[in-house]
Structure 1
Amino acid sequence: MGRQVDNVTMRFDRLTPDGATQPIDRALAQEVPIAIEFSGIGYAVLMATPADIDDLVLGFAMAERLIEPGDGAFDVDVHATAQGLVARATLPPERVERLLNRVRHRASDSSCGLCGIENLEQAIRPLPRVTAQGRADRAAIFCALADMRDHQPLNAATGAAHAAAWVGADGIIRLVREDVGRHNAFDKLIGAMARMGVDWDGGFALLSSRCSYELVEKAVLANCPLLVTISAPTQLAAERAAAAGLPLVVLARDDAVLARGLTTDL
């Protein structure tokens, strides 16, 4: 599936406080169910923008810890159905046991006390430590913030998409992925980087969203040296980042940012 998708246009009535009504045509971002199958096993259904699906599935597999960053990319077959899309991928043989274990946890009956405890342990699993070293300085962060809007064509057209960007240590935006879901956008970016065989190279991830614990976990598992988000973090996100050694820059605006966990002076 190609990166670009055609947006649907719908007619709306524009209402103003003075009582005026004006019909306008508005582009709407696509959002469709995408059923993901790994090695013949139905694993998850995501609501996502139907673009960069190869990247989405690969990044999602990494976030689910089904594969390791060094495992390399895999092929994704995408099939259209009347209800949505089906994306099928085959994991490396040595990772199938991981898949089976995760499926058992996801399908367990949480009405049982023991199963509930197991599910909680799976929800908040220990994270590895971030080992990548960042080289970006304050100027690089503000440079990327100033340029980010120009790299969001889907959001510019619809006003309904999040973006995730790989930014070099020099502040130049290297790669961007967009999606109606902030998690999907980051999975797409991480998957695209894995498919290209590139790492963060001292740069950082810039997300047009709040800093949730899920996004922190995705960044840690991708060994990202610095996570920058437009909005604030949750308490759990900040705690998980600190435990994994992931520096955060949050509430990132053109005139100021908030930083936490940096080991060097920006």
Structure 2
Amino acid sequence: MVFLRPNAHWPAHETPHGNYRVERRVDGVTISTHDCIAEETPVALVYNGVAHTVMMATPLDIEDFAAGFSLSEGIVARAREVYDLEVIARDNGMEARLEIATERALLLRAQHRAMAGRTGCGLCGVESLERFRAPVPAVRSTVGLAAGALSVAHSQLVGMQPLFHLTGAVHAAAWCGLDGAVALVREDVGRHNALDKLIGAVATNGSAFGDGFVLMTSRASYEIVQKAAAVGIAVVAAVSAPTGMAVRLAEAAGVTLIGFARGARHSVYSHPQRIH
């Protein structure tokens, strides 16, 4: 049994992890020590001066998160439609202020949805089943990768998750070349947040989404496939299982969905022609 007490000198919105006092109780023995705990904080996304949503996220790589969320949610169609991006620390969280193309801002206001984001949530605030069922663009990429690339990516990713190794509480999303080499990694308590951060980082670096694949340390759920398809990522691999809805969406959207990608083993659930 473990009891935690926060150490007040760690402001949650300024660091991705905090130092907490903990009493570990094992077989009747109490040990007083400290634990490194992953933080999450409210992040307000504001477009052209208008608040859009508040998401709970790990306060790390918030610029990437704001850019990636904007792309994966269809608020902008391409990175160059984000003219400016500033992250402000507040006493009660963080605020990402984005200046986007006027026509995109007008469309966002017309389609506005007030979302209250939670860490494990990927469909926060969708106001109707019709909106939820809105189609995603089909991914028509003919990209292919050798099965061995998945093993390479998994072995590299293990050593590229500093926040996970400190806290044990976060997911990672990795951008991998077609040979499996891991180029970028982003971490967050929320798996969909980690993917948004990765999408933002890939776009900011000027890489093409058709030139690689994503490896997630989480399960492959609906919103992971939805976000990947929205930006044109053709291959999504996860170390854990997919959900049935994720498999159906991947099949319909032209995404190759891979589960249980661990070492030399993996299971391909949709569009296996891309794996050689």
How does the TM-score come out when normalised to structure 2? 0.85
| 1:112 match | none
Q: After TM superposition, which residue ranges in structure 1, 4 or more long, deviate above 6 angstroms?
A: none
Does structure 1 residue 263 correspond to structure 2 residue 273?
yes
1:106 shift after superposition: 6.6
| 3-state SS of 1:11 partner | strand
| 3-state SS of 1:100 partner | helix
The aligned runs of 1:123-134 (5 Å cut-off) are 123-134=132-143
**In 2 relative to 1, CA 76–202 (structure 1 residues): closer, same or farther, beyond 3 Å?**
closer
| Contact persistence 1:72–1:195 (CA under 8 A) | no
Does structure 1 residue 120 correspond to structure 2 residue 129?
yes
Does structure 1 residue 179 correspond to structure 2 residue 188?
yes
Instruction: State which drifts further: 71-80 or 220-229.
Output: 71-80
| Contact persistence 1:164–1:186 (CA under 8 A) | yes
Give unpaired runs (5+ residues) of structure 1. 108-116
The aligned runs of 1:2-21 (5 Å cut-off) are 5=15, 7-16=17-26, 18-21=27-30
**In 2 relative to 1, CA 37–262 (structure 1 residues): closer, same or farther, beyond 3 Å?**
same
| 3-state SS of 2:265 partner | coil
The separation in 1 between residues aligned to 2:113 and 2:74, in whole angstroms, is 14
| 2:57 match | 48
Output the aligned Cα RMSD: 2.1
**In 2 relative to 1, CA 79–13 (structure 1 residues): closer, same or farther, beyond 3 Å?**
same
**In 2 relative to 1, CA 106–162 (structure 1 residues): closer, same or farther, beyond 3 Å?**
closer
Question: How many pairs were matched up?
Answer: 253
| Contact persistence 1:204–1:225 (CA under 8 A) | yes
Higher helix fraction (1 or 2): 1
Instruction: State which drifts further: 80-89 or 236-245.
Output: 80-89
Higher strand fraction (1 or 2): 2
| 3-state SS of 1:74 partner | strand
1:134 shift after superposition: 2.4
**In 2 relative to 1, CA 165–93 (structure 1 residues): closer, same or farther, beyond 3 Å?**
same
1:91 shift after superposition: 1.2
How does the TM-score come out when normalised to structure 1? 0.88
**In 2 relative to 1, CA 72–137 (structure 1 residues): closer, same or farther, beyond 3 Å?**
farther
| 1:34 match | 43
Letter aligned with residue 137 of structure 1 = A
Q: Give deviations 1:172-193, integer Å, cap 9, x for gaps.
A: 1000111111111100100111
Task: Calculate percent identity across the aligned residue pairs.
Answer: 38
The aligned runs of 1:212-231 (5 Å cut-off) are 212-231=221-240
| Contact persistence 2:44–2:54 (CA under 8 A) | yes
**In 2 relative to 1, CA 14–250 (structure 1 residues): closer, same or farther, beyond 3 Å?**
same
1:75 shift after superposition: 2.1
The aligned runs of 1:98-113 (5 Å cut-off) are 98-103=107-112
The separation in 2 between residues aligned to 1:256 and 1:15, in whole angstroms, is 38
| 1:200 match | 209
The separation in 2 between residues aligned to 1:70 and 1:88, in whole angstroms, is 15
The separation in 1 between residues aligned to 2:96 and 2:238, in whole angstroms, is 29
| Contact persistence 2:174–2:186 (CA under 8 A) | yes
Letter aligned with residue 134 of structure 1 = V
The aligned runs of 1:35-184 (5 Å cut-off) are 35-69=44-78, 71-103=80-112, 119-184=128-193
The separation in 1 between residues aligned to 2:77 and 2:275, in whole angstroms, is 32
